[in-house]
Amino acid sequence: MIKSKISNNSKILILGGCRSGKSSQALQLAENMGPRRIFVATCVPHDKEMQRRVDLHRHERGDSWTTREVPLDLAGTIRKTGSSADVMLVDCLTLWLSNLLMENDDEARIKESIRDLAQAVGSAACGVILVSNEVGAGIVPENRLARHYRDLAGWTNQAMAAVCDRVVWTVAGIPVTIKPSPQECAP
């Protein structure tokens, strides 16, 4: 677990590869940020199998969480709902980006959405925890859309890291705080 203090309206980005333990880490952090917790799921189930998984996750989180399914308008949701929550946990940004791309793959429009989200996060009335995937450390994909997606995911992560107080890189379930830097953290 992360030892140093998290203030109540901290903005935190949790980054890592697939199955690196990002979501568990995010849930644990949120538990210490106040009782009014909103889980913002960017995954909207399209079939029964997905619905069952989503229900299972909701059950595992327990009654202390309110769940909202928000495939696209994260910025608006944070602006409208932030003042009634202690913490909003968005899981995850890379799926949000997929949703944006599937709706309309115009790069200028997507970059505007990224900037708008960064603005909403940075000025949110409550704590915000963002979960996102690192997808750019493998071989360059042959598929053009995948290359575009990976560029946009990198830009998203940079934009969010810039407005967050804290960035955590997760490896094999272990959280490594990279912002503030370990040197700055030291006593």
Residue list for the binding site for GTP = 16-23, 58-61, 69, 91
Element (H, E) at 18: none
To which residue do tokens 């849930």 refer?
27
Q: Which is nearer to its own copies, 85 or 93 (CB)?
A: 93
Q: With binding defined as CB under 8 A, does residue 63 bind its own copies?
A: no
What's the token pair of residue 13?
Answer: 């980005």
Interactions with its own copies, residue window 109-148 (CB under 8 A): 134-143, 146
Q: Which is nearer to its own copies, 65 or 155 (CB)?
A: 155
CA angle 28, 32, 37 (to 5 degrees): 85
DSSP 126: S
**Is 148 one of the catalytic residues?**
no
Cβ proximity to its own copies: between 76 and 154 the closer is: 154
Q: Which of 70, 117, 150, 163 binds its own copies (CB under 8 A)?
A: 150
Burial zone of 99 (CB within 10 Å; 0-12 exposed, 13-18 middle, 19+ buried): middle
167 touching its own copies, by CB under 8 A: yes
Burial class of 96 by CB neighbour count within 10 A (0 to 12, 13 to 18, 19+): buried
Angle in degrees, CA 67, 71, 75, rounded to 5 = 85
184 in contact with its own copies (CB under 8 A)? yes
Report the residue number, 37 or 166, with the smaller CB distance to its own copies. Answer: 166
Under the rule (CB under 8 A), what is the footprint of its own copies?
A: 3-4, 13, 15-21, 134-143, 146, 149-151, 153-155, 157-158, 160-162, 167, 169, 171-174, 176, 178-179, 181-187
Active site residues: 57
